[in-house]
Structure formats: C-alpha cells, structure tokens
Amino acid sequence: MSPQPRLLHVLNILSALLLAAGTLMVFWYAPVERVMGAVQKLFYFHVATAWVGMIGFIIAAVVAILYLVTKDLKWDAINVAAVEISLVFFFIAIVLGSIWARPAWGTWWTWEPRLTTAAILEMIYLAYLLLRQGIEDPERRARFGAVYTIFGGLSVPLTFVSIRLFRTIHPVIIGAGGSEKMNMTGDMVVTMLFNIAVFSVIFITLFWHRIRLGQFAEQVERRKLQLTH
C-alpha cells in the first residue's frame, strides 16, 4: 500500500488549521446578530456544510454519467466517495439547521423547501447505499448506482421546486429576498465566505482520503483472491 502523498499530508494539516481559524473567526471576528443572538453563529457552519453536501451531490451526478459512458470503475469509486461525503455533510447541515430553527422559529423542524429537499436527498442516498448492498457483481453495482444517482440528481431539483411552491419561511441569504431577509454586515459576509472556503478544503481532503480507502479495499480484495487461488 502506498503511503500518503506529500500534498495530502499538507492538506491534512491545512484542513485542521483552517477549521480552527474559521471557528475562531465565527466566535471572535463576526459580530453577534442583533435579532437572533449567539445562535446565529451556527449559520456559518450550516451554510458551509450544506455547501460541501451540494458539491458532493453535483460531483456524484457528473461522475455517474462518466461511469456509464466509460465503464471505468475508477468513476464508481469516486461516485461512492462523493455520495458518502455528501450524505454526512447534509446530515450535519440538517442538524445545525434544526438547532438554529428552534430559537429562530420556535420549532425543531420546519418544512422549509431547502431543509425538506436535503432530508429527501438523504433518503435517496440511503436508498442508494441499500441498493449497492444488495448486489454482488461490482460492475452491476456500479451501473445501478450510477443510474440511481442520475435519477436522484434529476428529481431533487424538481422536488425543490415543488416544495418551494408551498410557502417558505427560510431566510433568503443571497440575492433578492422578501421581508424575512437576514441583514448581513460586511464582517458576516467575510466570515461566511471564509468558512465556505475552509469547508471546501476539508471536502477535498476527505474526498481524497475516501477515494484512497476505496483503492485499498480493492487491493485487499485482489490479495484475498490471489491467496484463494
């Protein structure tokens, strides 16, 4: 098994440092929001983790198509990695959103379009994992996984649009907003963007590790086969 490449070592350390810096920034640099108070600080992590979930979701859909076109199992390994990371980060985003929703709207859960869509996306990911679990042949597993990822990738935007047609109570952060728009000061925007950048680096690091893990698992399989023959 190959040792970690130097760049990955650098990324490991960089991720840890950036996470610490981002956290410090949230607590010491960003001002306390006037209406919501300290709990608003969760928002920076909520947005950043949701962002990572989103990247994973998009990468999964793209590599699913690449797999079906090329039939190269490398894309399947990347597909699983992207789905798993997206699953975890969307979960964190949902939990953070829920903790934030409690003081902000007086309820742990709101049927807000983005939150609900994220929850449905989690269900799609779980279905994806169950589907893969039921298939022995790696090529069929990869094909079915890719097809299902594409179905999920297409239905999720439509799910979002259809839930959005219900009234929304989520604050619109960026772009035109209604009366529920959250007023962000300059320091808040900087903190948010910085944390998005931090979590993007963390995403790259985790993604790399997960792909390597997939490669190691395959090597173990190969060795096992060699031993039994």
Partner 1 sequence: MSPSIEVTRLVKRFGLKNVLRGLDFQVQSGEFVALLGPNGAGKTTFLRILASLSRPTLGQVRVAGHRLPEQSAAVRRRLGVVSHLPLLYGDLTAEENLQFYGRMYGVPNLNVRIQEVLDMVGLSTRRRDLVRTFSRGMQQRLAIGRAVLHDPDVMLFDEPYTGLDQDASEMLDSVLKNVAAAGRTVVMTSHDLARAEDLATRFDVLSRGVIAASVTRTDLQNSNLLTFYKQALAG
Partner 2 sequence: MSTSYLRAILAVTWKDLTAELRSRELLSAMLVFSVLVLLIFYFALELDVQTRSEITAGALWVTFAFAGTLGLNRSMAIEKDRGCLDGLLLVPVDRSAIYFGKALSNLAFMLAVEAIVLPLYSIMYNVNLFYPGLLGVTLLGSVGYTAVGTLLSAMSVQTRTRDVLLPILLFPVIIPVFVAAVKASGGFLNGAEWSEIIPWVNILLVYDVIFIAVAFMVFDFVIEE
Query: What residues make contact with partner 1 under the rule CB under 8 A?
Result: 137-139, 218, 221-222, 225
Residue 179: exposure state from Cβ atoms within 10 A (0-12, 13-18, ≥19): exposed
> In angstroms, what is the minimal distance from the CB of 60 to partner 1?
22
- What is the C-alpha to C-alpha distance for residues 75 and 146, in angstroms, rounded to an integer? 9
Nearer to partner 1, 180 or 221 (CB): 221
Q: Which of 70, 107, 162, 185 binds partner 2 (CB under 8 A)?
A: 162
> In angstroms, what is the minimal distance from the CB of 90 to partner 2?
13
Which span (55-63, 120-128, 171-179, 202-210) binds partner 2, by CB under 8 A? 120-128
Give kind and range of the element (H or E) at residue 129: helix 113-133
Nearer to partner 1, 46 or 141 (CB): 141
> In angstroms, what is the minimal distance from the CB of 128 to partner 1?
19
Q: Which of 7, 17, 32, 158 binds partner 2 (CB under 8 A)?
A: 158
DSSP reduced 3-state for 176: coil
Q: Vertex 55, ends 50 and 59: CA angle to 5°?
A: 150
> In angstroms, what is the minimal distance from the CB of 61 to partner 2?
12
- What is the C-alpha to C-alpha distance for residues 46 and 39, in angstroms, rounded to an integer? 11
Any contact of residue 94 with partner 2 (CB under 8 A)?
no
Q: Which of 10, 13, 127, 217 binds partner 2 (CB under 8 A)?
A: 127
Between helix 138-164 and helix 113-133 the angle, nearest 10°, is: 160
Q: Which of 3, 136, 178, 227 binds partner 2 (CB under 8 A)?
A: 136
Q: Which of 155, 169, 209, 211 binds partner 2 (CB under 8 A)?
A: 155
Q: Which amino acid type is present at position 67?
A: Y
Tokens of 158: 């439509």
Any contact of residue 12 with partner 2 (CB under 8 A)?
no
Considering only residues 63-92, where is the footprint of partner 2 by CB under 8 A?
A: 68
> What are the Cα distances from residue 188, in Å, to 24, 85, 172, 184, 185?
13, 27, 15, 6, 5
- What is the C-alpha to C-alpha distance for residues 97 and 91, in angstroms, rounded to an integer? 10
56 close to 86: Cβ distance less than 8 angstroms: yes
Q: Which residues of this protein are in contact with partner 2, per CB under 8 A?
A: 68, 120, 123-124, 126-127, 130-131, 133-136, 140, 143-144, 146-148, 150-152, 154-155, 158-159, 161-163, 165
